[in-house]
Structure 1
Amino acid sequence: MLWIAIRMLTGDRQKFYGLLFGIAFSTLLITQQLTIFVNLVERGASGVYNVPTADVWVMDAVSRTTDVNFAMPSTALDKVRGVSGVEWAVPHLRGSAAVRTQEGDLEGVNIIGVDDATLIGLPKNMVEGRTDVLAQPDSVIIDDVGVSNLFEDGQSPIGERLELNDQRAIIRGVADSIPSFTSQVVLYTKYSQALRYVPGTRNRMSFVLVGAADGVSPSALAAHITERTGLRARTRDEFAQDGVDFIIQNTGIPINFGITVVLGFIVGVAIVGLTFSLFIRDNIKQFGALKAIGVTNRKIAGMVGVQASMVGLIGYGLGVLGTVGFINAFSANPTFKGFYIPWQIPLISLAAMILIIVLTGWIALRGVMKTEPAAVFR
C-alpha cells in the first residue's frame, strides 16, 4: 500500500514538484530569516567578544552596552584595583570620531583605546601586521571590515595616513574582529593616543577591564566590585547578553523578522495545502477503488501520511540546503562575516514543517475519508 501511495504521488509530477517547492520555499524563508536575525542581534555583543581576556567589565551605573556608555573619571580605575580578588585592571576607551582620508572623504569611525602597557582590549588575531606596531608614533590598527568600507577592493591600508580630530593617524595593522551591529569602521590605538583622537570631555574612561585572580569566580568578583565601588560590574557573558538584549528591546528587528517568519509559515500552508488538496481531488477515484477492494480508512490515512511525510522531508532538506548555500555564497561579504546557522534553527524549521504537513494532510485527508467506494463506478 505504501508503495502505491508513493507511485500515486510521483505520478503527477506537476503537483509533486509544486508540493516540494512550497515546503522548500517555506523552510528556506523561515531558516534564512531566523539565521540572519540571530546573527544580527549577536552583533550587539561583538565589542565584548573582541576582548577575550577580560573576565569582568566595570562601568558607570547608567552604561548599558559597549556602544551605549557613560564615561567615568580616571579615579574609578584606582577604586577597582583596590578591590580584593582583582588580578589586574586596565582602562578602556570607546568613542566615535570622523576621519578624513587622503582623498578627502569623511567617514564615521569608532575609536577604541587599549591599555598602553599590556594592549589588553585588542582582538585576539591579526590579519596583517602585529599588535606591537602600536608602539610606533601615531599608530592605529583597523579592523578587517573597516578596510573594505574605507578603501577600494584590493588596496592595502598599511601605511595609509588618516586625519582624526586634526591629529595624524597611520594605519600599521589589520585586526581580525567581529563586526559591530552597524558594521562601522573601527580603529584601535593606545589609550593615551585615543585621548587625543576622541573629542575631549571632563571624564574620558569608558570601562575598566578586569581579570579575576586565581580561585575567584568572575560572577563573585563582579558582585564584590559593585558592592565596594558603587560602579556597575558585569561578567563577560552577562555584558555580552546585555548587548543582545539592548538591540532586541530598542529596535524593530524582532518584529520585522518575526513577521517574515510568520509569512513564510502562512505561504507554506497556503501553497502546500492547495496543491495537496488538488492532488487528493484528482486521485479521489483511485482512493475510492482501494476502498472498494477492502482497504480500510486506517490504511488510507497511512498512505496519505506517507505521501505528506515524503514531500515534507525532501522539501525540508532542500530548504535547509538552500540556507546553507545562501550563507556560504555571501560569506566573503563583510556584512555577513562570521554568520553561522545555530543548531536550534533547523529544529525550529523542522517543527514548523511538521505542523504545515499535519495541517495540510489533515485537510486533504478529510475528503478521502468521506469518499464512498461507489464513487469509482460513477
Structure 2
Amino acid sequence: MDATKISLVRTTFKAVAAVDDGPERLARSFYAILFSHYPATREFFPAAMDVQRDRLLKAIGYVVENLEDAERILPFLAQLGRDHRKYGITDEHYIAVGNALITALEDFAGNELWTDEVDLAWREAIALIASVMMEAANAESGPPTRVGRVVEHKQILRDVAVVRLQLDRPMQYGAGQYVSVSVPGRPRMWRYLSPSIPSNGEGQIEFHVRRVAGGWVSPAMVGQTRLGDEWLISSPLGALGVDRSRNRDQLMIASGTGIAPLRAQVMEMAMRGNNPRVHLFVGGVYPCDLYDLETLWQLARTNPWLTVIPVSEEDTNPWWHLDPTPVAPPGMHERLTGKLGAVVAAFGAWEDRDIQIVGSPSMVQATKYRLQAKGTPVENIRHDPLL
C-alpha cells in the first residue's frame, strides 16, 4: 500500500477510536452484520463475545498502526492465519469477514468521512490482510490443533495454578511465544497462554494460569481442571524472544504469571554456552505473588549471566497466605518494594538493552511510560500486541 492509502486507513480508524465507546460500538456492529449476513459464521464463536471483540480491536489497531512495516506486520498476519485454522475457517469466510468490516466502518463513519478514496484504501488493506492470512493457513498441512492431556495440576496460590500437559505430538514454538487454548466445558472459548518451558521433542508443555475475576475460562482452568482432561492447543503466536543477531544484553520485566514466557526464554538460554547478560525483574502485589522465585534463583545460581530482581508492591503477605516468604540466598538480589515500573526505571534508562515487558495491559503501559520518561528508546521496548 502507498503512503496516501495507509494515511487514509489510519485516519479513519483514529476517528473511530476518538469517539466515546467508538471501538466497542464498531466491534459490536461488525459482529452483528457478520452474523446477520453470514449466519453460518456464528458457530465459530462463543456465546459470550466480550473477549472476542476485544481481540478484534487489538488486532485491527496493531495492523493499522504498522501497515508500512512489512517486517513486523507480515509475520504477525501469517501467525494469525495459522492460528485461525482452529475455527475451521475457509477462504470464503475471510471474504465474509472483510465485507462485514467494510460495512461496519462505512456505517460508523458516515458519508462525510467515508469517501470513495477511503473505501478503496480500506478494501486494499483488508485484501492484503486476508491474502497473507489465507496464504499462511493454506500452506499448513498438519492438523490445526494439538491435544494436550493434563498430567499435573498444582494450585500454588488461591488464584494461580501450574498445569502440565502431554501433547499428542510435539509442537515447535519459540520460547516467549504464546498459544490459543480451549478447555473442556468451555467450547469455542479460546484463551492465550504462554508456555513456561521451552519447546521439546517429548511433547511436554506447561502453563501458569491466573484466575481472572468474572472470567469464563481461567476459573475453570485454575479450579476445575482434572488429571486426564484434554485441552486443545493451537498454533504459536507472538514474536518475543532474544534476537541474537543484535548482540545486545537483555532486560526482562514480568508481573504475576507474565513470568511464564520470560522463564521459558531463560531456561532455553541456560542450555547454551554463550549468552548475553540478562536482568530479570519479576513483580507482584504481595511477596507471595513471586511464586516462581525459587526456580529463578536456581537458574541464576548456575548461570552467572542472569540477575533476578524480585519486586513487590507490599512488604508483607495478605492474612490468608500462611507460607513463609522466601529469603534471598547468598549472592541473590534482595526483594525490593514498590511499583514494578518505577523500580525498574529507578535503575536508569537501560538504553543499552533489548527490553521485553509481560503482564497486564495496565502494567505493560505503565512500565513502558516510566522507561520512556527515563530516556529509554521506544524502539528497544517490546511487548505482545494481543496480550
TM-score > 0.5, shorter chain as reference: no
| TM-score (normalizing by structure 1) | 0.18
Which of structures 1 and 2 has the bigger CA Rg? 1
* Higher RCO (CA < 8 A, seq sep 6+): 1
